[in-house]
Structure 1
Amino acid sequence: MDTSVQPKVETDTTYNQNSNYRFALVSLTTLFFMWGFITCLNDILIPYLKGAFNLSFTQAMLIQFCFFSAYFIVSLPAGMLVSRIGYQRGIVMGLIVACCGCLLFLPAASSGIYAVFLIALFVLASGITLLQVSANPYVSALGDPKTAPSRLTMTQAFNSFGTTVAPFFGSFLIYGATGEHGVTSASDVQLPYVILALTLFTLALIFLFLKLPALHQVGERTPLRFKGALQHRHLVLGALGIFMYVGAEVAIGSMLVSYLVQHSDSGLTEAKAATYIAYYWGGAMAGRFIGAAVLQKLSGGLVLAFNAFIAIGLIVFSMMSTGDMALWSILAVGLFNSIMFPTIFSLALHGLGKDTPNGSGFLCLAIVGGAVIPLLQGMLADSIGVTLSFLLPASCYLYIAYYGLYGSRVTQSNIN
């Protein structure tokens, strides 16, 4: 997800060679993989810390609240910082901040205080936000502007690959520390995050000394002024669509382990259920390739509405089922999530003209839905049960269907 407002850039002609760009692009794909990997680990961390600290679902969902709040709080300051220090240094600083966040898991586990875990997650997410603000426009500027979307799509595929393999890594190292039926302890999360810290620090050193094409900003960074952009009704409704989509996607992923265990008719353990998260995120990765072809033939609004209605049907069917039917139908929602974020984003920016940069920044702030919706679902799970709490993400998809069919139509409206 692009959380940056991208300034104009030009490339240093000293490095204006295809081989240099390919090398830089390959290097940057490791970053996209890493932040997808780290973000997905939260889906395993939530049920594990819930057991270790005997938390309610609401308290456990504070993990996603703290993590995704960083997108809302840190994104704009990070953009201003990157405009001063440059993209490569911004990447290095983002990696170091994320490394510090991982290392904070050591005192968090030693103290046994849940609040310290939340602080560690916020620091980690702040580093990832800085990383995104630096890396996304950097990838866009590495070569012909006409092929920038293709480069970003390719690197985003590696982001999805990270979310696909992370559940296997997390399940093995976290649950494997005690075994499937062992007594959970907060200290069991130390090893995976120490490994991540070492990896991030190594990447920071590599990018500090890596000879990458120099990118220079042209002119001053344009400040965000939302007033003009907010005159566009379809942009405002699109921001709510981004809020709903990110919230629903994250909420489902966060509740999957608990949901699958409850709906299992064969004694599915949390350790085994955690590995199934890979299918949820893997479906999203596969769906991006399918959706790219479909969207060349069909209207984005229609495809968006179709996918949203299918997602609602899958959720309702899963809620009414048990065993494999419940398992695979809820995991299939990931496949239909795939095209939603880029489609909503592009529909919301259509026809904005000079307001496009500010509109993009406004849409990025709506990613905070990943903090709010999971927390609300946690409250529902505590009050009416895990299964019925999935009515909340289903209602989010209902709004997304409305946006695809009607809300995305371009009209001018003065919003005071």
Structure 2
Amino acid sequence: MVDLSGSSGQSGRTGPVTGSFITRGYTAGFVLVTSLFFLWAIANNFNDILIRQFQKALDLTRAQAGLIQFAFYLAYFLMALPAGFLMKRFGYRVGILAGLSLYACGALLFFPAAIVREYSVFLAALFVLASGAAFLETAANPYIVAFGDPGRASQRLNLAQAFNGFGGVLAPILGGLFIFSGVEHSHDTLKTMSAAEVLAFRVSEARMVQVPYLVLAAVVITLALAIAFVKLPKVSQSDHAGGDIATPGKTNLLGAVIAQFFYVGAQVGIWSFFVDFVKEMTPQFSEKQAAFMLSASLALFMIGRFIGTALMTRVSPTRMLFIYALFNIALCLAVIVSPGIIAVIALGLTSFFMSIMFPTIFATGIKGLGPRTSIGASYIIMAIIGGAIFPPAMGWLGQTTGHLQYAFVLPAVCFAVIAIYARKAGATSESTSPVSEAGQ
């Protein structure tokens, strides 16, 4: 159970106060752990800027640039299970500190990568950084349960994930200001430039990433020092998600893993090509303006999580998940068939309806796992590999058809899978518990 005495585990009092959103004494710890959600959002959403930036700096095609997400989310797939085992053995604090250390190392590697200007070195740096993010997500998502009443876990997780949304809003703005130089040359213009001029342009663009990632590394190191000393709840293996041992038919773990694979694939695919899509559909806008449009879309994502947290006191999380998935299927179809700015607006609106998906799938998937929660969480985080699969596939589809619009049929399929999961998970919950899902 959660030890209310802190990390020492000496008090005889155990378990969070029934009904408490955050247990007394752990507010500072909750704030710091919640800040981790903000931190990995910065890394995830900087990738959307890097996809555009590396096309300029390294002369990549859209399909090649999609490998940024492949390298990033491959790390999630490979590192989530080791992270789960590490936390099972040494606890969540150690897992978080390991994640922050890897994150900082990956960010620091961007400096030499920009000097050598080799795509493989950038991908290696992203892999190390993403390995750290995988540790953080594997730890923070289930650990949020330990900060209060397990019955309010879905609300608490959606609140924490709202700050992930805030990081998502801020990242494109920061990227637009500090990574995008504002210098854009068309292919025709580049052909008229000398080899020396083209090389100077690409070198300058590559080095634009150095300072932002150095600053990011400094922030991560500072946060690691704070996490090392703050008071955090101690979690035993019997404490999680209601505390009962998982049995076949009682949990939604397998369905959650599948749903999360398709959700992350849809989310990463949509955001990865948002800037490119704006440029294709509305060429009158600059890349900086397109980045700010992405920020506006991510603001809807953040707002959606705050609204979702409030609505879950009245509406079943899986019912909301089903309805939101249907909205996004319709919006993706609108993206495919609509012209210009209408298609851009439809794409931007998908973020609002994606807002509750990750935390709701996650909370529903680990519910009832008991001592297997940390490993179950690892499996769900491994499903983030979907973010490695769909962006290259979308890039290839857009390149093959000659129209990026057609690539958004893949996110539409993803949201259909999520809608099916939501219906089945809702039915499972209603058949196994007399308590409303809104109290998860």
Give runs of aligned pairs for residues 356-375 of structure 1, distance below 5 A.
Answer: 359-375=376-392
Counterpart code for 1:34: L
Correspondent of 1:262 among 262, 277, 280: 280
Where does residue 38 of structure 2 map in the other structure?
33
Q: Secondary structure at the match of 1:213?
A: coil
Partners of 1:12 and 1:213 within 8 A in 2: no
Matched, 1:10 2:10: no
Structure 2 Cα separation of the partners of residues 42 and 142 of structure 1: 31
Counterpart of 2:323 in structure 1 is 306
Select 1:382's aligned residue among 375, 385, 399.
399
C-alpha distance in 1 between matches for 2:146 and 2:372: 21
Q: Report the CA distance shift for 1:216/1:302 in structure 2 as closer, same or farther (over 3 A).
A: closer
Aligned counterparts of 2:88 and 2:252: Cα–Cα separation in 1: 30
1:398 corresponds in structure 2 to 416
TM superposition shift of 1:369: 1.0
Q: Which residue of 2 aligns with 1:324?
A: 341
Q: What is the distance in 2 between the residues matched to 1:277 and 1:371?
A: 20
**Given the alignment, which residue of 27, 46, 55 partners 2:60?**
55
Gaps in structure 2 of 5+ consecutive residues:
12-21, 187-200, 241-245, 432-440
What amino acid does structure 2 have at the position aligned with 1:47?
Answer: R
CA distance in 2, matches of 1:337, 1:202: 31
Change (3 A) 1:401 1:25: closer
The structure-2 alpha-carbon separation of the partners of 1:205 and 1:213, relative to structure 1 and needing over 3 Å to count, comes to closer
Distance 1:352 1:147 in 2: 16
- In 2, distance between residues paired with 1:406 and 1:142? 29
Aligned-residue offset at 1:355: 7.4
Letter in 2 for 1:328: I
> Structure 1 residues 363, 231: closer, same or farther in 2, change over 3 A?
farther
Aligned to 1:66, the other structure's residue is in SS state helix
Q: In structure 2, the residue corresponding to 1:82 is in which secondary structure? A: helix
Secondary structure class of the residue paired with 2:33: helix
Aligned to 2:270: 252
Is the CA contact (8 Å cut-off) linking 2:138 and 2:381 kept in structure 1? no
Deviation at 1:275, TM superposition (A): 1.6
SS in 2 for 1:10: coil
1:4 aligned partner: none
How many residues in Structure 1 have an aligned counterpart in Structure 2? 396
**Counterpart in the other structure of 2:114:** 109
C-alpha separation in 2, matches of 1:81 and 1:399:
32
Deviation for aligned residue 1:50: 1.8
Indicate if the aligned counterparts of 2:84 and 2:378 stay in contact, CA closer than 8 A. Answer: no
Q: Is 1:77 matched up with 2:70?
A: no
Of the structure 1 ranges 370-379 and 398-407, higher mean CA displacement relative to structure 2 is found in 398-407
- 1:256-300 CA deviation, whole Å, 9 max, x = no partner? 0110101105x1122221121112222121112323344444454
| CA–CA separation in structure 2 for the residues paired with 1:150 and 1:291 | 8
The one of 259, 262, 265 aligned to 1:241: 259
Give the CA deviation at 1:147.
4.8
The within-5 A match list for 1:92-171 is 92-171=97-176
Off by >6 Å, runs of 4+ in structure 1: 14-19, 228-233, 350-357
Deviates more, 1:26-35 or 1:339-348: 339-348
How much does 1:72 deviate? Answer: 1.3
Is the 8 Å Cα contact of residues 247 and 370 (structure 1) preserved in structure 2? yes
| 1:105 shift after superposition | 0.7
Over the matched positions of the two proteins, sequence identity in percent amounts to 38
TM-score, normalised on structure 2?
0.79
Residues 110, 213 of structure 2: 8 Å contact kept: yes
What does the per-residue CA deviation read over 1:343-388, in whole Å, with 9 as the maximum and x for residues that have no partner? 3345556777887776554333222111111221122122113111
Aligned 8 A contact 2:84 2:374 in 1: no
TM-score (norm 1): 0.83
Give the Cα separation in 2 of the matches to 1:199 and 1:350: 33
Whether the 8 Å contact between 2:47 and 2:69 is mirrored in structure 1 is yes
Structure 1 gap ranges (5+): 1-7, 223-227
CA spacing shift, 1:374–1:408, aligned 2, 3 Å: farther
Equivalent-residue separation in structure 1 for 2:249 and 2:237 (angstroms): 27
Q: Quick check: 1:318–1:329 contact (8 Å CA) kept in 2?
A: yes
Q: Is the 8 A contact 1:237 1:408 kept in 2?
A: no
2:162 aligns to what SS in structure 1?
helix
Q: CA deviation at 1:170?
A: 0.8
Whole-Å separation in 2 of the counterparts to 1:193 and 1:239: 31
Does the Cα contact within 8 Å between 1:350 and 1:410 map onto a contact in 2? no
1:15-47 Cα deviation digits (max 9, x unpaired): 989774222223333322211122111111111
Q: Deviations over 1:97-141 (max 9, x none)?
A: 111101111121111110111110010011112223343444432
* 29-38 vs 61-70, which moves further: 29-38
Shift of the 232–377 alpha-carbon distance from structure 1 to 2, 3 Å rule, reads farther
How far, CA to CA, are the matches of 2:261 and 2:24 in structure 1? 39
User: CA RMSD of the aligned region, Å?
Assistant: 3.3
CA distance in structure 1 between the aligned counterparts of 2:257 and 2:237, rounded to whole angstroms: 28
Aligned partner of 1:225 in structure 2 is none
How big is the shift at 1:216? Answer: 3.9
Partner-residue secondary structure (3-state), 1:175: coil
Map of 1:287 onto structure 2: 304
- 1: CA distance between counterparts of 2:24 and 2:236? 25
What does the per-residue CA deviation read over 1:69-119, in whole Å, with 9 as the maximum and x for residues that have no partner? 122111111222234444334333322211110111112111111011111
Q: Are residues 1:206 and 2:226 paired?
A: yes
Q: After superposing the two structures, state which structure 1 stretch, 243-252 or 150-159, moved more.
A: 150-159
Q: Aligned in 2, Cα 1:138/1:242: closer, same or farther, shift over 3 Å? A: closer
Q: Which residue of 1 aligns with 2:207?
A: 187
Alpha-carbon distance, 1:233 to partner: 9.7
Instruction: Give the deviation of 1:149 after TM superposition.
Output: 4.5
Q: Is the 8 A contact 1:11 1:214 kept in 2?
A: no
